[in-house]
Every structure is written in C-alpha cells, then in structure tokens.
Amino acid sequence: MAKSEQKKLSGIEKHFGSYKYSVRGVWLAFYYEHNMRYHLAAAIGVVLVNYLLKISRTEWVITLILIGLAWMAEVFNTALEKLADRVNQHPDPLIGQAKDLASGAVFIICLFAVICALIIYLPYLL
Ligand SMILES: Nc1ncnc2c1ncn2[C@@H]1O[C@H](COP(=O)(O)OP(=O)(O)OP(=O)(O)O)[C@@H](O)[C@H]1O
C-alpha cells in the first residue's frame, strides 16, 4: 500500500475513532446532568404524540430538529459548567454569569420548542 494511501486510511480511522469520544460525551451528559433525563422523557413523549396525531413528514422533521437542538444546548451547558467548575469553584460573579448564560441558551430553545409544539399540535386537537 502506498504511503499516501496509508496516511489517508489512518486519517479516516482517526476520524471514526473520534466518534468514541463523542459518544462518551453524550453518555457523560446523561450521567452528570439530571436535566438530560427530562429532555429524554420529553423527546419520547414528543415521538409518541407525533405517532398518535399522525403529523406530517415536515412536522416530524421540525420536532426532531428541535429535540436535537435542545439536547445539543444541554450538552454544551454541561460542558461549560464542568469547565467553569475547573476554572473556579468559589463564588465568582463571572462564573455565575457564564453558567446563567449557558443555562439561558437551553431555556431559549426549550421555550421556542414549546411554542412550535403548540403551533403543530393544536390544529390536530381542536
Ligand atoms: N462559582 C460560582 N460563582 C457564582 N455563581 C455560581 C457559581 N457556581 C454556580 N453559580 C450559580 O448557581 C447556578 C447553578 O449552578 P450549578 O453549577 O449548580 O448548575 P446546575 O444547578 O447544575 O444548573 P443546571 O440546572 O443548568 O445544570 C448558576 O447558574 C450560577 O448562577
């Protein structure tokens, strides 16, 4: 096998190997962040309601994107909390603000997810 081909293969192997760390990151978020369990419960609830109401393909995609965004925000929030705790565990106004900002990001996507859910589901229920 040519040297350049070997380099390519190791790059691809490296790429797929890094998924191991990504999966570990998601697992860590579920382990450390109790809110992730609420997000999971909410996601299961949304999927069930989607099936029961027989919503359209576009509405399925929108709800799945919103679930993904909420999970993503929560994983980032957990990462930032960990980093902030490493930087300074003592009361510090900037650490407090950083954590509040990350938490605010989760709140924003959850708020808009609820609004979107109402817009999608209400016409099926009324
Ligand atoms: N070192 C600190 N200095 C100042 N304020 C802090 C500090 N650590 C936490 N806080 C404040 O306490 C809040 C909760 O922080 P904590 O690290 O306990 O997160 P949490 O309760 O796990 O939050 P979440 O529910 O988003 O996971 C923060 O949003 C912030 O306002």
> Residue 97 domain-assigned?
yes
> Residue 13 domain-assigned?
no
Question: By C-alpha distance, which of 80, 88, 85, 124 is closest to 106?
Answer: 80
CATH number at 73 reads: 1.10.287.3610
Residue nearest to atom 30 of ligand 1 (CA): 96
> Residue 23 domain-assigned?
no
**Domain region containing 79:** 34-125
Q: What does the pLDDT profile of the chain (126 residues) look like in tens digits?
A: 555 565 666 777 777 778 899 999 999 999 989 999 999 999 999 999 999 999 999 999 999 999 999 999 999 999 999 999 999 889 999 999 999 999 999 999 999 999 999 999 999 999
The pocket around ligand 1, CB under 6 angstroms, is made up of: 33, 35, 77, 81, 88-89, 91-92, 95-96, 99-100, 103
Rounded to two decimals, what is the model's pTM?
A: 0.86
User: How many alpha carbons fall within 13 Å on the CB side of residue 122?
Assistant: 6
> Residue 14 domain-assigned?
no
> Residue 24 domain-assigned?
no
| Cα 85 to ligand 1 centroid, rounded to whole Å | 9
Distant-in-sequence, close-in-space partners of 46: CB < 8 Å, separation ≥ 6: 63, 67, 117
Q: Tell me the C-alpha distance between 99 and 82, whole Å.
A: 10
> Residue 19 domain-assigned?
no
> Residue 50 domain-assigned?
yes
Residue whose entry in the numeric block shows the structure tokens 């407090």: 96
| ipTM here | 0.91
Q: Where are the alpha helices (DSSP H) in 33-92?
A: 34-53, 57-87
Number of domains in the chain: 1
> Residue 112 domain-assigned?
yes
